[in-house]
Amino acid sequence: MNLFVTGYGPFLNVTENPSGLIAARLGLPYRVIDVTFSAADAFLDEFAAMDHDALLMIGVAGIAGRMRIETVARNHIGPTPDVADVVMGPGPVHADSPAHLHSSLWAGFEQWVDGPDFEPSVDTGSYLCNYLSFEAARRFPDRRTGFLHVPLPRPGFGVEEMADAIRRCILGPLLAR
């Protein structure tokens, strides 16, 4: 598997986004995407020309206690503006698409979706994380795509600990395919 990783830059009250910091620590090709719809679309346009067959997208979920393996992306975007003050919703991400698209990256790896560091989730939210996840799954049905939400860092579970858990529990099994 030839995996590419993304994280995000700062947004709203998250001045140092752990998703971008984690993406940079995984030892794989990565990009930190600005939290704008146009930056997400521009990245997906670039990814279309890349030879990677898999995409791991990482974002932050401030209310999460563990890392959330997002198994479904919803065809819905909420009314929150991106950091460039662009509002895309409320409404569908893509009008002619189904209500949900399932992640293809996580298929066959149920053994680690519920443990001390990870939990499964079917709610990618209604902001840029869901937008990017849905659009990646829609635009690249022939590639494996998946989204992972990480919590805000806390003592004992900071950026380094999360990156280590991702390398050990996710990248090891995925890259061994």
3-state SS of 137-155? HHHCCCCEEEEEEECCCEC
Q: Using DSSP, state whether 4 is helix, strand or coil.
A: strand
Q: Does the structure show a pLDDT above 80 at 91?
A: yes
Q: Using DSSP, state whether 121 is helix, strand or coil.
A: strand
Q: What is the mean pLDDT of residues 150-176?
A: 89
Rg of the Cα atoms in the chain: 15
Q: In the chain, how many domains are there?
A: 1
Q: Using DSSP, state whether 158 is helix, strand or coil.
A: coil
| Residues 55/7, Cβ–Cβ less than 8 Å | no
User: Quick one: what percent of the chain has pLDDT higher than 90?
Assistant: 77
Range of the domain at 94: 3-175
Q: What pLDDT was estimated at residue 111?
A: 57
> Domain containing 46 — which CATH number?
3.40.630.20
Q: Does the structure show a pLDDT above 60 at 65?
A: yes
